[in-house]
Chain A
Amino acid sequence: MTIYSLYIFDRHCSCVYYHDWHRSLRAKVATEGNILPAVSHEVYSKPTEGDVSGTPTPSYPGSRLALSSSTGIVVAVNEQPPPTPATVATQTATQATTSSLSFDEEAKLVYGVILSLRNLIKKLSGRDEQFVNYRTSTYKLHLFETVSGFKFVMLSDPNTDSLRFILRQIYAGPFLEYVVKNPLVSMDSKERGIDNELFRLSTDRLVRNVSVFS
């Protein structure tokens, strides 16, 4: 039992956040210009060894500021997000196997599938029935949609029960606290994602504490 990845889409069909955990087959880095900045630092092409001196990914200005949620005071300013030890380990261990899809194509396919399935279920049932999840032989995809049109998508082991409650918890907890209430995140901008350090850390903590995560 495990959890593979989390995608968040906004109502303009674009992927605004991505996070993965036990993923053995990774997507290739996204083609430049096809994905918004500040979605996940793992999906952009990294500067090569030679020009380390260059600016650290230009796509990140602003989002490195972490604000205290109650007072609004800047509590941390970072140049580069300190990667958690676990993500470093998985990155080095699984770098060899990449899927044939690049990240931007993958995100579009995920969005296309959930949108088509949603329409299929609505059409078939003839009422306002929601699509909840689907399962294949190797993974299960769960969907939670908010009233504001944000879609939370999680991929997990095929044998897990519904994980909708976790997606709801992410929405009610970290998302509201560190994205909606964060003045530095421009939601609905169509220009940048919502990734910031506090949101990533607390989402990570929340998902790692779920019983099916191992």
Chain B
Amino acid sequence: MVTYSLWVINKAGGLVYQRNFADGLAQLSSNEYLVLAGTLHGIHAITSRLSPTGTSSGVQVIEGETLKITIFLTLTGTKFVLVTSLADQNSEPVLRKVYEAYADTVMKNPFQTPEMPIRTDNFDLRISTLLGGS
């Protein structure tokens, strides 16, 4: 069970936070991460329209052969994305804890501009205790 990466995508599809915790994924530039986050945002919107049985949420879990992407959409439209190994069972509770940390340290920070990249030490600290990493 490895947690590779955490992303926070704002409601417009922009990547506002990205952090890697373990090696094993490709080394990408921040621009490439921005593109991937935008793609994921678009895919999320389309998947909710493809439902064969009526209204559906957007995509929640994407699985490859060895990795898994778990997406948690908040009521306000912010997406929390966790990239883990396929065996990881703990992604959803972890993402809820990340949301809690986000509410505590980012939303309550008077110096944080909404929808802009997150540069808050306290958030970094809370994520480190949650997911490890340096």
| Cβ distance A22 to chain B, nearest Cβ, rounded Å | 8
Q: Evaluate contact between A24 and B67: CB separation under 8 angstroms.
A: no
B residues near A (Cβ < 8 Å) are 25-28, 32, 36, 39-40, 42-43, 46-67, 69, 83
Q: Is A60 an interface residue (CB 8 A)?
A: no
List 14 additional A-B contacts (Cβ < 8 Å) besides A125-B66, A129-B64, A134-B63.
A110-B50, A112-B46, A113-B46, A119-B39, A123-B28, A126-B26, A134-B59, A135-B60, A135-B63, A137-B57, A138-B54, A138-B57, A139-B52, A139-B56
Q: Is A20 an interface residue (CB 8 A)?
A: yes
Contacts of A139 in B (CB 8 A): 50-53, 56
Q: Evaluate contact between B52 and A129: CB separation under 8 angstroms.
A: no
8 Å CB contact of A121 from B47, B52, B62: B62
Contacts of A119 in B (CB 8 A): 39
Q: Evaluate contact between B51 and A25: CB separation under 8 angstroms.
A: yes
A residues near B (Cβ < 8 Å) are 4-5, 20, 23-25, 97, 101, 106, 109-110, 112-113, 116-117, 119-121, 123-127, 129-139, 141, 155
Q: Evaluate contact between B52 and A126: CB separation under 8 angstroms.
A: no
A7–B26 CA distance with the chains assembled, in angstroms: 31
| Cβ distance B27 to chain A, nearest Cβ, rounded Å | 7
Q: Is the contact region of chain A dominated by helix, strand, or loop, or is it mixed? A: mixed
Residue among B50, B52, B63, B64 with most chain A CB within 10 A: B52
Contacts of A106 in B (CB 8 A): 50
8 Å CB contact of A155 from B26, B36, B52, B65: B52
A72–B47 CA distance with the chains assembled, in angstroms: 43
Q: Is the contact region of chain B dominated by helix, strand, or loop, or is it mixed? A: loop
Q: Evaluate contact between B62 and A117: CB separation under 8 angstroms.
A: yes
A123-B26, A132-B63, A137-B60 given as contacts; is B54 within 8 A of A25 (CB)? yes
How many A-B contacts are there with CB distance less than 8 Å?
Answer: 109
A171–B54 CA distance with the chains assembled, in angstroms: 29
A129–B86 CA distance with the chains assembled, in angstroms: 12
| Cβ distance B105 to chain A, nearest Cβ, rounded Å | 27
8 Å CB contact of B53 from A4, A112, A117, A124: A4
Contacts of A101 in B (CB 8 A): 49
Contacts of A126 in B (CB 8 A): 25-27
A109-B46, A116-B39, A136-B48 given as contacts; is B54 within 8 A of A125 (CB)? no
| Cβ distance A24 to chain B, nearest Cβ, rounded Å | 5
Q: Evaluate contact between A124 and B46: CB separation under 8 angstroms.
A: no
A4–B32 CA distance with the chains assembled, in angstroms: 35
| Cβ distance A32 to chain B, nearest Cβ, rounded Å | 23
Q: Evaluate contact between B51 and A117: CB separation under 8 angstroms.
A: no
Contacts of B43 in A (CB 8 A): 113, 116-117, 120
